[in-house]
Structures are given as C-alpha cells and as structure tokens.
Chains A and B, each alone.
With several copies, the nearest count.
Chain A
Amino acid sequence: MINKTYRTSLEALQDVKDGDVIMFGGFGLAGIPQNLIRALYEKGTKNLTVISNNPGSRLGDDEYGLAVLFKAGRVKKYIGSYPTATKSFKELYDKGEVELELVPQGTLAERIRAGGAGIGAFYVKTGAGTLLAQGKEIRIIEGEQYILEYPLGADFAFIKSYKGDIYGNLVYRYTGANFNPLMAMAADITIAETEELVDAGVLDPGTVHTPGIFVDRVVKGERYDRWYE
C-alpha cells in the first residue's frame, strides 16, 4: 500500500537543511505553496537558494508568499525572473545581502523542464545579444543567434495543487499550474501541498496534470489565504 501523504506541512519538509536549493511553484500568489512556505519559515532553515518566478508578492503595503523568507534573511541566492515584485528583495539586494541570478521567464521554465527531462542543455534566441547573455555561449543556427542555457535542478521542489491523491497525482486550477508541474519534475524531492486530498482512483486519469511519479510527498494544506476581495 503506497501512501505518499504526510500529516502536516512541517513534517513533510522535516529533512530540508541549511544551504539547500529549493524551487517554489507559483506566479505572483497564484499556485504558491503557502503552507510549505510558512512551515519552512517556522523551521528556521537558512542559507537557502530559492528558485521561483518572483521572491514573493506585494499587494498594497503588504508582502506575501516567499517574502517572509527573504525578510527573515534566510535566502542567500535568488534565481528568478521578477525580483522587483517585492520591496523586501530590493532592500536586501541594495545592501548586498542576497545574490541574484536573473533569468527570462520562459528560459526559467525551460531550464527547469530540462532539469526534469534529462536535457543536457539547449539553445534559445531569448536574450541573445543582451546583458542577460553575458558569459553565455553563442551559436548561429540557420542564420540567427542563439544562446546556450543549462538545466536547473534542486534539492527540493515545494509545489501546490488544487487536488491531489495519495499517489501524488495532481490537478491544478486556473492559472495555478504555472511553474508547479515543471518543478515537480526537476527536484530530487518534490513536496506537494494540496487544497483537497483524495484517495487513489478519484481523479480522472485523463485530467491529471502532474503524474504521481514526479511527486514524493503530499500534504493537505492547513490554511488557504485569499488575498483578493
């Protein structure tokens, strides 16, 4: 009897350690693993490398999602596409307290997919000739300039689904998928929090977005904040 579920978010991530590389699904606040983020904050893990489209989100004067980890000084390096999403990141960056690897959003998605799919490296036109191509290998393919991009991997991926079953099969909702299914493939250990947890056989096999093979642990999220009225 296989059952990948954990009782609490904190138990699900008990073996995360200082210095780990962690991918976090989500775009803005859509599809972020908010319970795993809270649990990781409680646990106090530090010196993290965070891979995520944005380092948290700002709504009005408040910051949500990953911002809590940055503000608490737990992150030494951030890899993503949209660091200006929060003021807290900018403050740390200006003080030289966090390292930044800026990656175009589509290249970020593709590098993560490559990490999960056994692609050794790939060429894209995105960014060719710009500041973001500095130090990258160039190749001319059919008369156009491409740059070489390498895969991204991680010790853990923290992802979020709408529905999940005990085998780790996941279904996302609306724009909640975004980077989640890619990160599920790319990390050594993938932990999925899910709004609804169901038994094997409840999800229609044809509508599963992330097959359970890519998911090591599943936990029913303790609390789901809604940020919009």
Chain B
Amino acid sequence: MIAGMSEKDMARRAAQEIEEGFYVNLGIGMPTRILDFIPEDKTVFFHTENGLLGMGGFAKKGETHPDLVDAAKQPITCIKGASFFPSDISFAMMRGGHIDLAIMGAYQVSEKGDLANWTAPGMLPSIGGAMDIVAGVKKIIILMTHTTKDGKPKIVSTLTYPVTGFKCVSMIITNLCVLDVTDKGLLLKELAPGVSLQEVVGTTGTKVIVPEGF
C-alpha cells in the first residue's frame, strides 16, 4: 500500500479549499480534522446540520453541555457571531443552495462525480444528512483514502455501491492526489509528495486525465 499524505496532511490540503467567509459543512470523521487548519485570522462559518452556524472547536472537559453538540454528537463550542436554529432551517440552508462547501468522506466516487457514501451492501442503512447535502450544497469535495483497506479502487468508472447523489462531486482529495471532476472526466491536479503518476493511475479504477507537466 502506498502511503502518500497522512490524514493530517490531507486535512491541511482540504483546508486550503475553504475561502474567507465561506459557509462550510464538514462530514463526520476525517473532515472534522480540517478545523485544526483554519488560520485564526480567517473567518469561516462551520455548519452543523443539527442546528448551528459558527461551530468552534471541540469542547474541553468541564466545558461541555449536553445540548451543544455537532453532527457526530460530540460536545463542541461556538464562535462569536454564531446562530442556532431548528432542523428545517438547517436543511433549508443545504437543500436551498446556501452552504458554499461540504467536505465529506466516501466509499466510492465515479468519474462523473457520482457519489456513494451512505451505505454498503449488507449494512444496516443509515442516511443522516448525506443526501440533503448533495441535493443542494454549492460545492462538494470528497476527502478519502485513494483505495479501500485491501487496496481496491474507490475512484471508479461506475458506482457499485448505493448512490448518494449523481454528478455532485467537484473535487477529490486522497492520500495520493487531488483530482478535479470535469465534464471530460477526472483531471489530475496535484500529486502527493513522494507519490508517482504510475501509482495514482494504477490504483484508480477509471481513466485519469493527466495534464502536461506531470
């Protein structure tokens, strides 16, 4: 298995996609590590679908409150200028196209930007807010390992896992590379340090468009 970027480096790279003033939803798991890489002087409004804009970091012991949690049910804090609201308004923000960016994990992404990240065959299915996010958020970035634990491609020509949404992913950030989803297919944008073009091509289950210079 090729190492490429660590989870920490991946989170740092993803953080660069977040612009000043963005309203951003972070998925459960690896994406929450992005919080550590937002510069102090950059104003970003993190959205948690359970009803908060302006999530701060995780709450320290002794400063938690049972009614103040994120979408992963972890105790959190909120920033100055935050706001709380009920679930219908929270999802109006997503479905209605108000959230600028969502960064989520995935089981599979297709070359067309189709996404599978809610359930796998044989699993008890849970959906949470994943389908609502892809139905309306302006830009979706997937942050995931390039392959499964046993080395199978997660970036594929056609999904074999149950679909979350069609043609919704704009960018894929993995431990090996950064890919843009374009009308013509997946375009290589960056290679992780120490990772070869052959390694990316060999572990991707569909064609990767490689621009000159790589």
Q: How far is the CB of A90 from chain B (nearest CB, A)?
A: 5
Q: How far is the CB of B95 from chain A (nearest CB, A)?
A: 3
Docked complex Cα distance between A110 and B72 (Å): 21
Give the residue of A165, A178, A205, A208 whose beta carbon is less than 8 angstroms from that of B86. A178
Give the residue of B66, B84, B90, B127 whose beta carbon is less than 8 angstroms from that of A82. B127
Docked complex Cα distance between A205 and B52 (Å): 9
What are 26 of the A-B contact pairs (CB < 8 Å)?
A: A1-B43, A27-B73, A28-B73, A53-B87, A81-B127, A83-B126, A85-B73, A94-B124, A105-B132, A106-B49, A116-B98, A119-B95, A126-B95, A126-B136, A130-B131, A172-B84, A172-B86, A175-B50, A177-B86, A177-B87, A180-B86, A181-B86, A205-B54, A205-B82, A205-B83, A213-B99
B158-166, B179-187, B204-212 - interface stretch: B158-166
Give the residue of A53, A109, A167, A229 whose beta carbon is less than 8 angstroms from that of B64. A229
Contact A173 B132 (CB under 8 A): no
What A residues does B131 contact at CB under 8 A?
104, 106-107, 126-127, 130, 132
Closest to A89 in B: B124
Given contacts A1-B41, A117-B92, A178-B87, is CB(A105)–CB(B127) below 8 Å? yes
Docked complex Cα distance between A116 and B126 (Å): 25
Is B150 in the interface zone, CB < 8 Å from A?
no
Q: How far is the CB of A203 from chain B (nearest CB, A)?
A: 8
Contact B85 A177 (CB under 8 A): yes
Q: How far is the CB of A21 from chain B (nearest CB, A)?
A: 17
What B residues does A228 contact at CB under 8 A?
59, 64-66, 75
What A residues does B78 contact at CB under 8 A?
174, 205
Question: Which of B95, B130, B136, B162 has the most chain A CB atoms inside 10 A of its CB?
Answer: B95
Q: How far is the CB of B87 from chain A (nearest CB, A)?
A: 4
Chain A residues within 8 Å of chain B by Cβ, number: 77
Q: Which B residues from 49 to 98 make CB contacts under 8 A with A?
A: 49-54, 59, 61-62, 64-69, 73, 75, 78, 80-98
Q: Which B residues from 123 to 151 make CB contacts under 8 A with A?
A: 123-132, 135-136
Binding site for A on B (CB under 8 A): 20-21, 23, 41, 43, 45, 47-54, 59, 61-62, 64-69, 73, 75, 78, 80-99, 123-132, 135-136, 162-166
Binding site for B on A (CB under 8 A): 1-2, 27-31, 53, 57, 81-85, 89-90, 93-94, 102-110, 112-113, 115-119, 124-132, 162, 165-167, 169, 172-182, 185, 200-201, 203, 205-206, 208-209, 211-214, 224-229
Contact A85 B126 (CB under 8 A): yes
Q: How far is the CB of A82 from chain B (nearest CB, A)?
A: 5
Given contacts A117-B95, A129-B163, is CB(A82)–CB(B68) below 8 Å? no
Given contacts A30-B68, A81-B128, A118-B135, is CB(A175)–CB(B48) below 8 Å? yes
What B residues does A129 contact at CB under 8 A?
163, 166
What A residues does B128 contact at CB under 8 A?
81-82, 104-105
Contact B126 A106 (CB under 8 A): no
Contact A213 B98 (CB under 8 A): yes
Contact B129 A81 (CB under 8 A): yes
Contact A28 B50 (CB under 8 A): yes
Contact A124 B95 (CB under 8 A): yes
Give the residue of A29, A116, A169, A205 whose beta carbon is less than 8 angstroms from that of B92. A116
Docked complex Cα distance between A24 and B95 (Å): 23
What A residues does B41 contact at CB under 8 A?
1
Contact A125 B84 (CB under 8 A): no
Closest to B100 in A: A213
Contact B127 A29 (CB under 8 A): no
